[in-house]
Structure 1
């Protein structure tokens, strides 16, 4: 456990909570957390997750831009958008293909102790992040599954503050799912 990991965990939790509230401040806080976690994961030899944080930075900038473009002025001003069946299918397919390619690379060229889990979780995290940036409620359901699996992986790597954070993320994702479902029905 390091101070960097603790700060990254705190910023990440606040960022997810603000995302559930559809508050623009979620983007800069989450961006800082992703940068810090990139370093934490690199030091833990979780290379896919370290790379994922760099990609998340791009996704976070995209989400920030997208929400600003769509007119967010404060809390809960952005509307939720439905995801088509086609979008769901292609998102899940891209996650599987990306995860498979990433797993092959990690297994062949790195000392990642869990290349398949690391790659698939990272790949589907990108799918969920893009869906969140586009304000699809299903992103929260994805995060529930992804974050539950991450808890087990982080415990196995002795990243206990991060495992605790991801357990909290599961609860925050349940909260976000309920909040966004309610908003989409309104």
Structure 2
């Protein structure tokens, strides 16, 4: 019994200080994004770099690769938030268009099936299709966040709810707790961005249809 408690405590405080640094920077970048702060992008780059190492060690290869994509998307999103609006102005919060939903849904389904098959047959990933699904939805959510689409937070709420038990199962307890906090932050982000979208629409400063 004492040995089991010791093992749980060791995992709960993190296998290395690296995971805790990744947890703190990960929380900070999402909080900054919910506040529409540009600083979320450089902080996200730091956190994603650390999680490349962490997910590789945990054999979550799709999520490891996702961090590389997130780094690239963060660089692009940084530029978009600054100059992606009308006449190269800052973006304002807007709603996701129907054609965007269609393309994202088709892309997520194709990615989940294709990459899930690869992980199942050519790697030792223990949850290949679920790993691929969370990766696909995360990519869709990140794209919407880059374009300051309000509904990115709804996708994050869904994917964060999946990540909490997955990461707990992988004994990444601090990171599982982080995703529980992400879930709350996503709700907060949705409320804040919805208010911002309403203000942009009322003042006529929206960059695209609300």
- For normalisation by structure 2, the TM-score amounts to 0.84
Equivalent-residue separation in structure 2 for 1:65 and 1:20 (angstroms): 18
Equivalent-residue separation in structure 1 for 2:102 and 2:75 (angstroms): 25
Equivalent-residue separation in structure 1 for 2:198 and 2:61 (angstroms): 40
Aligned ranges for residues 104-143 of structure 1 at < 5 Å? 104-143=117-156
Q: Which residue of 1 aligns with 2:179?
A: 166
Q: Which residue of 1 aligns with 2:6?
A: none
Equivalent-residue separation in structure 2 for 1:78 and 1:178 (angstroms): 18
Which portions of structure 1, spanning 4 or more consecutive aligned residues, are displaced by more than 3 angstroms? none
List runs of 5+ in structure 1 lacking aligned partners.
72-76
Number of aligned residue pairs? 181
1:99, 1:124 within 8 Å by CA — same for their partners in 2?
no
Q: Structure 1 residue 78: deviation in Å?
A: 4.2
Aligned ranges for residues 82-101 of structure 1 at < 5 Å? 82-101=95-114
SS of the residue 1:158 aligns to: coil
Aligned ranges for residues 27-46 of structure 1 at < 5 Å? 27-46=41-60
1:11, 1:32 within 8 Å by CA — same for their partners in 2?
yes
Equivalent-residue separation in structure 2 for 1:53 and 1:99 (angstroms): 17
Q: Tell whether 2:82 aligns with 1:68.
A: yes
2:91, 2:147 within 8 Å by CA — same for their partners in 1?
no
Q: Tell whether 2:7 aligns with 1:9.
A: no
Equivalent-residue separation in structure 2 for 1:182 and 1:4 (angstroms): 36
Aligned ranges for residues 152-163 of structure 1 at < 5 Å? 152-163=165-176
Which range moved further: 92-101 or 126-135? 92-101
2:82, 2:91 within 8 Å by CA — same for their partners in 1?
no
Q: Structure 1 residue 92: deviation in Å?
A: 1.5
Q: Tell whether 2:195 aligns with 1:177.
A: no
Q: What value does the CA root-mean-square deviation take over the aligned residues?
A: 1.1
Q: Structure 1 residue 84: deviation in Å?
A: 1.0
SS of the residue 1:22 aligns to: coil
2:33, 2:40 within 8 Å by CA — same for their partners in 1?
yes
Equivalent-residue separation in structure 2 for 1:181 and 1:152 (angstroms): 28
Looking at CA atoms only, which structure, 1 or 2, has the larger radius of gyration? 2
1:15, 1:29 within 8 Å by CA — same for their partners in 2?
yes
